[in-house]
A and B are shown apart, each in its own frame.
Chain A
Amino acid sequence: MQEAIISKAKQLLADGTVNRVIGWKKGEFAYDITPAIFESAEEIDAEFVYDDFTSANVSKYLVKESKKEGKILAFLKPCDTYSLNQLTKEHRVNRDNIYVVGIPSDGKLDAEKIKAKGITGIIGVERNGDTLKINTIYGEETMPVSEAMSNKCLSCKSKKHVTYDELIGEDGEVIESDRFDMVEKLENMTSQERYDFWKNELSKCIRCNACRNVCPACTCENCVFDNPDSGIQNKAASDSFEENMFHIIRAFHVAGRCTDCGECSRVCPQNIPLHLLNRKFIKDINSLYGEYQAGEDTTSRAPLNDYTQDDCEASIVHERGVE
């Protein structure tokens, strides 16, 4: 796949369709891939990579990049196209300045999961069918691919590209996923159990803001939490759970706009399952307003921005709040 992508990138640069390419760049080890912009065939040949660890969603970079001179080529995985569509819908990107080549993804790996198995000194990772062969400074290790699969890919919701100018390979379909299972589990807890679950998770937060900064739905130019004049700006993580309401507020802010790309949980240095907050909103919106997938299209009205006479009444909050 990498070869096809590289030759497509060079072709589109050479024929002048685009003047830049956004993709991923190799690192020092097998897994430390960095999103990067390439301007020439030489740069692409030297450093472009598309492999098991290119999980970063590059859509958000297009907010800035699409405002620049010329067209940029973006290689997007199915999940990434939902983010771009949502950004297009919100007029955050200039879609005319982006040339999207949809690329397939058979699931990305998470180096942290390999390390959690006690495998250390990783210098190479090779996928052979269902088995992962890991070359380390201490010798060779193997593990099942499924156990190293990144969480966001384990509950993949779609193999379909919802926006593209061109595709490499065949397009896939929206698929059944078990992504709401954990949300249901949380819903079935008593309020005390649920509170304890979130208190335990959110108290790990170090307020690094990685979740917010990577989130394609968080595109405010100046976030209230960064604005010294807002009165609520705070870089201090406090011990109190109140402080960690930050995450709940953020989830509210992206509700109805979050495409469930899973980047927030992927980047969290403390492994907090932040995506579960967003999924709860997605599940609620589905049940209260009918099935809705943010980013699926660029024209429909979002349920939380729309009014219809058969909308559920506000009293639903009280009804649902009863245990």
Chain B
Amino acid sequence: MLKISLENLGKLFDAVAEKQTLYIPTDREDGASEYKKYESGMKLSKNLNTLRSAKDFFFPQTENLADFKMEGKKIEVIDVRKESEDFVVFGVRACDARSFTILDKVFLCEPVDSYYKNRRDHGTVVTMACTKPTETCFCGTFGIDPTAPEGDAACWSDGENLFIQANNEKGQAFIDSVSSLLEDGDTAKLDEVKAKTKEILGKLPLANLSTESFGGDKLMEHFNSEKWAELSESCLGCGTCTFVCPTCQCYDIKDFDTGHGIKRFRCWDSCMYSDFTKMAHGNIRNSQLERFRQRFMHKLVYFPSNNNGEFGCVGCGRCLSKCPISMNIVKVMKALEVK
């Protein structure tokens, strides 16, 4: 497999950044990591994952969709999209890589969301295999192998070298663009690292979490469960879980009156918010119980029902560590599990 010594990783980043905008996860002063536009000398984070997910690259928290200018009775609609440039996101974990497949199912089905598609077309995703999964990880529950991540190209580290392999043409083009820095390498040590990681994955506290009780055909038994009241009783109704989630895809579109025109923008919405899906007649989910239930039913029942059994969660564990009251999808699954 092709490899580059970890010492020379900076050279690889420099070479990529020379041709395209490159984003890598890097550490902030408070120890958390986030994706940043690469500048020479920037260090790749050693953290397992970024605080916010990678979905922003394709589905940003806010974006302007169109401008409207009015002169008398004439309305001019201005497409505010600028020509997108190609970019590379490096170091995406297997869970986040799978989240793109989930978002694709939402935004690329008919009618195609051209804003999202534009970014997907221009972006190359280079993933990074995990070596040190943590207690909040449960990607295995959703059939994700963090030692063999998806993405256009995938990378592995054995502690000394970074190995890289293409998963498709886009990934191959990425590798070709830096091929002068790569050499053939022996994967014996890497195979050991992978085997060790797999052993740890089996020992994770959530290794046995099962989706067996969930899916598109489990609608009524879960919807009417008495457990929702207890599960949701201390929910604060904040949007943390939905905003750190790599697969939450609900958004709101609003018109902002600038005084001399309208800016139509889209921003993430959260089913936890009291005005979520508020319509002309009012709100269809008036209690926090209903809004809370919506989030988990969406991921565990509605989404698989509409997408050939695929669940709307990738087990990244962000909601497990970030929910202010530590209520999360794992606790919901365990409570609703049919034994």
A residues touching B (Cβ–Cβ < 8 Å)? 27-29, 31-37, 56, 61, 111-112, 115-116, 120-123, 136-138, 206-210, 212-214, 222, 226, 228, 233, 235-238, 266-267, 269-271
- Give Cα A58–Cα B204 distance, bound, in whole angstroms: 31
Nearest CB in chain B: distance from A230 CB, A: 11
In angstroms, how far is the closest chain A Cβ from the Cβ of B115? 15
In the complex formed, the residue of A with least CB distance to B257 is A231
Q: Could you tell me the distance between the alpha carbons of A105 and B238 in the complex, rounded to whole angstroms?
A: 27
Q: Which of A56, A121, A123, A269 has the most CB of B within 10 A?
A: A269
CB distance from B321 to the nearest CB of A (A): 7
Chain B residues touching A, majority SS: loop
The listed residue (A37, A138, A210, A226) touching B274 by CB distance below 8 A is: A226
B61 is contacted by which of A31, A33, A37, A206 (Cβ under 8 Å)?
A: A206
Given contacts A137-B135, A271-B32, contact A32 B320 (CB under 8 A): yes
Asked if B236 and A210 sit within 8 Å, CB to CB, the answer is yes
Query: Cβ of B210 < 8 Å from any Cβ of A?
Result: no
Contact assessment for A29 and B135 in the assembled complex, using a CB-CB cutoff below 8 Å: yes
Determine whether the beta carbon of A36 is less than 8 Å from that of B269: no
Chain B residue at minimal CB-CB distance from A116: B31
Give A57 Cβ to nearest chain B Cβ, in Å: 11
Contact with A along B29-61 (1 / 0, CB 8 A): 011100000000000000010011000000001
- Best-buried of A29, A61, A226 by chain B (most CB within 10 Å): A29
Closest to A223 in B: B274
Given A137-B204, A208-B238: A120 in contact with B134 (beta carbons within 8 A): yes
- B239:A36 contact, CB within 8 angstroms: no
Indicate whether A122 sits within 8 Å of B265 (C-beta atoms), given known contacts A36-B234, A206-B243, A226-B275: no
A213 near B61 (CB under 8 angstroms)? Answer: no
Q: Are A121 and B133 in contact (CB under 8 A)?
A: yes
Instruction: For the complex, give the distance between the alpha carbons of A121 and B206 in Å.
Output: 11
Contact, CB under 8 Å: A207 / B234: no
Q: Give the distance in Å from the alpha carbon of A150 to the alpha carbon of B205 in the complex.
A: 25
Contact A34 B325 (CB under 8 A): yes
A112 CB contacts on chain B under 8 angstroms: 321
Q: Are B200 and A269 in contact (CB under 8 A)?
A: no
Measured CA separation A231–B197 after assembly (Å): 52
| Contact between B205 and A237, CB atoms less than 8 A apart | no
Asked if A267 and B62 make an inter-chain contact with CB atoms under 8 angstroms apart, the answer reads no
Nearest A residue to B200, CB-CB: A137
